[in-house]
Each structure stands twice: as C-alpha cells, then as structure tokens.
Amino acid sequence: MTAIQQAEQLLGEMTQTQKFQFLQLLARDLSGVTPGIISTPEVCGGEPRVEGTRIPVWVLVQYRKLGATEADLLGMYPTLRSEDLVNAWAYYRTHQTDIEQQIVENETA
C-alpha cells in the first residue's frame, strides 16, 4: 500500500475535526511556517524553541529519539501542551538538518 493509499484510508476513518486538524498540519508543513516555535538570539542561544518556554526543539527531538513518549515529555515539562509537541515535530520535519546539527553540537559541548 502506498503512502497516498494509507492517507486515503486514514481520512475515511477521521472525524471532521480530525480532518481539519490534519489539514492545518499539512498546510503548516508545506509552508515551512511553524506556529509556536520561535528563535530569539538572547534566549537559548537563538536555537528554535517552544514559544513561551526555554525548551529547544532539539531537546524534545533527542528525548523522542531516546524513546520518550509524548506523555513522558508532557510529564517532564508540565508547561508543555500536546499542541506544542505537534508544532515541534512539524518544525523538525521541515528543518531536520538544522535540528540534527544542534543535537550533535550540544552532545559534544
């Protein structure tokens, strides 16, 4: 089954609300704009982070790679919302090379 066929199947199983949320996610992914993720030179060294926090996207991605679930991350960072994680994953998809470089730089620091 191709990815498109899988998407068609999933769309048939989604509620209208879920379809709308998926459409928003797809639009953000295609535009390269990720709401809720900001970079400010004087905060976290300018690394992209969840807006309103000092939690860099690379930290969340690295925890995820190490096996942390979204529930784990929300427990570790009580100020985060599920929406923040959705935004972080979307940002990572469109800026994967940059985030991977930040992980390497911070692991060797």
36 with 51: CB under 8 angstroms?
yes
Cβ-Cβ contacts under 8 Å for 46 (sequence gap 6 or more)? 39, 40
Query: Binning pLDDT at 50, 70 and 90, where does residue 23 land?
Result: confident
Regarding pTM above 0.75, the answer is: no
User: In this structure, are 52 and 88 located in the same domain?
Assistant: yes
CATH code where residue 47 lies = 1.10.10.10
Q: What is the pLDDT of residues 76-90, one digit of tens each?
A: 999 999 999 999 999
Same domain, 54 and 11: no
Q: Looking at the predicted structure, is the pLDDT value of residue 28 above 80?
A: no
Does residue 41 share a domain with residue 24? no
In this prediction, residue 25 has a pLDDT band, given cuts at 50, 70 and 90, of confident
Mode of pairing for the β-strands spanning 37-38 and 49-50: antiparallel
| 21 and 52 housed in the same domain | no
Following CA atoms 5, 8, 9, 13 in sequence, which dihedral angle do they give, to the nearest 10 degrees?
Answer: 170
Range of the domain at 74: 36-108
* Same domain, residue pair 63 and 103: yes
**Is pLDDT of 60 > 80?**
yes
What mean pLDDT comes out for the span 17-40? 83
**Judgement on whether residues 52 and 78 belong to the same structural domain of the protein:** yes
CB 68 within 8 A of CB 85: no
Choice among 9-13, 14-18, 25-29, 101-105 with the minimum mean pLDDT: 25-29
Looking at the structure, do residues 50 and 64 belong to the same domain, yes or no?
yes
Residues 102 and 72 grouped into a single domain: yes
Tally of domains in the chain: 2
pLDDT of residue 89: 94
